Amino acid sequence: MKHLKSYLGIFMLSLGVLCMACSDEYMQDMNTDPTKTSTIDPNAQLTTAQLQTYGDTDLVSVYRSYIYGFTQQLMGCWNTTNYGGRHTLDDSEMGRIWTNLYAQSIKNLVDAIHHTSGNEQAININSILRIFKVYQMSILTDIYGDCPCIEAGLGYIDDINTPRYDYQQDIYAHFFKELTEATAALDPSKDRITGDLIYHGDIARWKKLGNALRLRFAMRISEVDPQKAQTEFEAAVNDPGGLFGEGADDALIHYMNIAFSFGHESYSDYRGNALSKILFGNDPANNPSYVCATLFDRLRTTNDPRTFILSRCYFDGLMTAVSPENRIDLTEEMLSKNARFNPCKPGAFSWEPWPQGYESDLMHELLLMHPDIPTYMQRETEPKLANNFLKSDNPGVVMTYAEVKLLLAEAKSKGWNIGEGCVSDLYKEGVRAAMDFLSDNYDCRRVTAEEFDNYIQINGVGNSPEQQKENINIQAWILHFTNPAECWANLRRSGYPALKSPAAYGFEQFLTGGLEIPLRLCYPVLESSYNKQNYQNALDRMGGLDDWHTNIWWDI
């Protein structure tokens, strides 16, 4: 917390200067007005870019509206079911990640990289900016496909106002080059980093993150370019900078406890985790985050100890709009009464169908004070996201030690040369780390050794390469619940878990955007006016249409 408070002044200065820099009048007067600065501290620009990742309400709303529906981890609330659960095309909603990241985060990063390039006194900040830009660009290309990358953000620098849409294959080649060079350039004896909300300037850990991202992106292209994938993966494993070796190496963006509010100030205040805030909901008693049956049933039928760590059943009738703390937790009572849990199926709103209820003893005392509250609980039997994941100071997940272990397990199953360790052991370490990740970062109860051993005995990695690929990536799907962009990307890449369309659950008549689960989001329509030729070139490569059922390059 003290680190984040110390960065607040830097962040606010960066935002203020960026807003001024967007003005034509400011650009004209910049050289003559002594009250306006002509330079920005690149550390401040790094802070701004990091905070925006999960702090921008408009940006992360796409995760709730579309991506959690596509991954079938949440379902039932209006946003998730209406957009992602029912495949509803909405240009303004789909384009938020594109318009917000390019206009702010990517713009800041490109500017800061430009002004620190070739400066030996700024080698570390330049390298970290480059690594973080690769990460941000991966979110964009993995969601939309071909997109501006090499020329993105160069409007003020090189007067490139209509950047070309790079082929995704070329974007990934650029990623590997940037990560390799930037990781190697990091030097703990050089400049000190003052604006880093992830590692607080720890150069050794940034080297590990650079290598970890190389593992992620190498595995991402493993189906479309297996030789390149193996080469890059093995190079990252053998890099002297090392890999994540424990949970303390997790790359997490640290946020503050900011009051739950949905006025203008909350949308522009990046200091709190906006994803957690919108999952809490702007009308929490009527619009909480329901856990999808696909996830809940997978957890419960496999006796996963995370079942009731991730999800709980609450009575929300007394919950205020500013805090989830006064929810009444009915989960243990339901378990003791062997009551039926009713998770929302893919494509369903929380009232479709109206769930079966049960007689609640816990509600009797409350009934004395609130006689209008029924004791026969119905919609409260629908599992919802646990309070632990609805807090403004929850971390923003970039990459974890658990993910690295699961990636290593899959690489080993492919026969890649990654050193010691068998597939089964790497898998177990990854699953154990994924469970510990919840207790280490979300104040969840810790899964005991006995619980873990019982679980892993009946949920092992399997024998054949395909069984291993399936089980490893189902575990990645569960792990990435708090990292939705990566969750959707890895699900599409691996094909696991194999999800059924909401059409299979009886909702085909509502799927206006097609029966199959979409494979990408469409470009913002305004691109057809602002960057017409490059936009059209990208569409031509997809057969002439901006179709969200068209595979992106690595998804074969």
Q: Which of 29-38, 243-252, 293-302 has the lowest mean pLDDT?
A: 29-38
Q: In the prediction, which pLDDT does 21 show?
A: 39
Mean pLDDT for the stretch of residues 52-70: 97
Six-digit token string for 320: 């205020």
Given a cut of 80, whether residue 30 has pLDDT beyond it is no
Whole-number pLDDT of residue 375:
60
pLDDT in tens, 505-518: 999 999 999 999 99
Instruction: Look at residue 260 in the predicted model and tell me its pLDDT.
Output: 62
25, pLDDT greater than 50: no
Tell me, what amino acid is at 508? E
User: Across the chain, what does the average pLDDT equal?
Assistant: 91
* pLDDT confidence band for 376 (50 / 70 / 90): low
Please tell me the predicted confidence (pLDDT) of residue 265: 59
Q: Which of 238, 235, 249, 247 is CA-nearest to residue 204?
A: 249
Across residues 114-124, what is the average pLDDT? 97
pLDDT per residue as tens digits for the range 445-492: 999 999 999 999 999 999 999 999 999 999 999 999 999 999 999 999
What is the enclosing helix (H) or strand (E) of 218?
A: helix 203-220
3-state secondary structure of 374: coil
Q: How far is the CA of 43 from the CAs of 107, 156, 253, 555, in angstroms?
A: 14, 20, 15, 36
Query: pLDDT band at 328, cuts 50/70/90?
Result: confident
Residue 396 pLDDT exceeds 70: yes
Tell whether the model's pLDDT for residue 18 goes beyond 60.
no
Picking from 378, 396, 271, 225, the residue whose alpha carbon sits closest to that of residue 10 is 271
Averaged pLDDT, 46-56: 97
The runs of H, that is alpha helices, within 159-199 are: 168-185
pLDDT at 284: 56
Question: Percentage of the chain surpassing pLDDT 70?
Answer: 88
Characterize the bridge pairing of strands 376-377 and 384-385. unpaired
Q: Looking at the whole model, is its pTM more than 0.95?
A: no
User: Which pair of tokens denotes residue 353?
Assistant: 């169908």
Mean pLDDT, range 233-256, rounded to an integer: 98
User: Cβ neighbours of residue 46 under 8 Å, at least 6 residues apart?
Assistant: 108, 109, 112, 125, 128, 129, 132, 193, 195, 196
Size of the chain in residues: 556
In this prediction, residue 360 carries a pLDDT of 87
Cα-Cα end-to-end distance for the chain: 43
pLDDT score recorded for residue 26: 35
- Read out DSSP for 325-364? TTPEE-HHHHHHTTPPP-PBPTT--TTSSPPP-EE-SHHH
Q: Is the pLDDT of residue 107 over 50?
A: yes
Mean pLDDT across the stretch 305-317?
93
